[in-house]
Amino acid sequence: MKFYVLGDTHFGTAHLWDKEVFGQFIDWFDQIDFGKQEECELIQLGDVVNRASNLGDTLELVTRFFDIACSKFKAIYIIGGNHDHKNLNGKSQYATQYLKYLGNKKQIRTIYEESIFDTENGFKIIALPFRRVEGKVLDDYYSNELSEEFYTTKADLLCGHIAIREPKTFYGGVDIEKFATDQRAFGHIHIRWGNYKKDYTGSILPFKIDEEKSELNRVIKCFTKKGHSEIEIPKFMQYKALQFGEKPQKEDLITIYTIKNCKNIQQAKMQYPNLYIRGVEKIVNNISVKAGEKNEIFANSLDALDNMIKETAFIIKRKTLFLLKSIL
């Protein structure tokens, strides 16, 4: 008996390359021999789809992937992620159509609240999904306020859709040292970095340029009662820069380009109709300005700093943070 753990999939079709990249991932997943179906289960760590995906094409990917998964695993458990969650009419709920749809399948169970459960094959799982807790910070709630059994039960796996609190920083995260369970697998953080890099699976693909460099390779983890092993997820895509006018090299991987020294995305697409282009960088008075990507708007400079720290997974000392915050 064994169970597998898969990280953030973020199925979507918003980018031109999405269908091809996700298609390659699903083809790869399809040919893996996980073992006898009766003996294998799967835990997906949340963010099944990318938020705000358009229904039709994305549902096609989701259906194809989970049909394959259902043929390979006796049972599938999906731990809710922040992308699976949305606010509707001012109410926070797990209302994404995809998870409702998947939850209706007999083999699939969706987990939206912290829980301790036994899988069909008898593994004990502690799950910490993303959720909103009225008036509380989720990280603090999970670190300090769960019922005692969450911390004292020695389960076969502690998993969830959370960031792990790094030592020597006070920048959020769940204090996983409080839990007696030492086999762990977490989604939400897309790269395997930091003190607990082994406890993240990583997302299945680098969804942004800054997710390309992961300290450890992206994996599907496999657990038994005795220990665990990892299946490395191959690289299906890469990000590259190209000077406008230059001829692109032949690439083995699906390549997504940033075109440099180019006026706008339309010009880039005219020049390179056959390339996947994520954006351009134009040169204005020797200052490189990014365009063609969604502009992030921050409430204030503190908000911008917080986002930078989150996005770059930058470890910052308390003193430095105080200093920075006092300047901002």
CB of 79 to Mn ion, least distance (A): 12
Name the one range near Mn ion by CB under 5 A: 29-37, 44-52, 60-68, 229-237. Answer: 44-52
Of 45-53, 59-67, 151-159, 318-326, which part binds Mn ion (CB under 5 A)? 45-53
Minimum CB–partner distance for residue 215 and Mn ion (Å): 18
Nearer to Mn ion, 107 or 173 (CB): 173
Distance of CA 108 to the CA centre of its chain: 20
3-class secondary-structure state, position 239: strand
Q: Is 47 in the site for Mn ion (CB under 5 A)?
A: yes
Q: Which is nearer to Mn ion, 34 or 66 (CB)?
A: 66
List all residues 6 or more positions away from 261 whose beta carbon is below 8 Å from its beta carbon: 243, 244, 281, 282, 283
For Mn ion, which stretch binds (CB under 5 A), given 46-54, 66-74, 139-147, 318-326?
46-54
Query: Minimum distance from CB of 8 to Mn ion (Å)?
Result: 4
Closest to Mn ion by CB, 40 or 237: 237
Tokens linked to 84: 């699976």
Query: Going by C-beta distance under 8 Å and a sequence separation of 6 or more, which residues neighbour residue 94?
Result: 80, 84, 85, 110, 112
Phi/psi class of residue 86: alpha, beta or left (left: φ > 0; alpha: ψ in -120 to 50)? beta
Least distance to Mn ion from the beta carbon of 218, Å? Answer: 13
Alpha carbons within 13 angstroms on the beta-carbon side of residue 139 total: 12
- The residue (of 18 and 47) whose beta carbon lies closer to Mn ion is 47
Q: Is 211 in the site for Mn ion (CB under 5 A)?
A: no
Residue listed under structure tokens 């040919």: 31
Binding mask 137-156 for Mn ion (x = CB under 5 A): --------------------
Side by side, the strands of the sheet bearing 40-44 are 108-111, 75-79, 40-44, 2-6, 219-223, 228-232
Q: Which residues pair with 291 in a beta bridge?
A: 280
- Based on CB atoms, which residue is closest to Mn ion, 123 or 236? 236
Count the helices and strands in the chain (H runs, E runs).
Answer: 8, 16
Residues 1-20, interacting with Mn ion (CB under 5 A): 8
For residue 246, the SS3 value is: coil
**CA 105/CA 313 separation, integer angstroms:** 36
Instruction: Name which of 8 and 199 has its Cβ closer to Mn ion.
Output: 8
Number of residues that bind Mn ion (CB under 5 A): 2
In the complex, the smallest distance separating the C-beta of residue 83 from Mn ion, rounded to whole angstroms, is: 6
202 or 279: whose CB is closer to Mn ion?
Answer: 202
Closest distance of CB 82 from Mn ion, Å? 7
Q: Which residues bind Mn ion (CB under 5 A)?
A: 8, 47
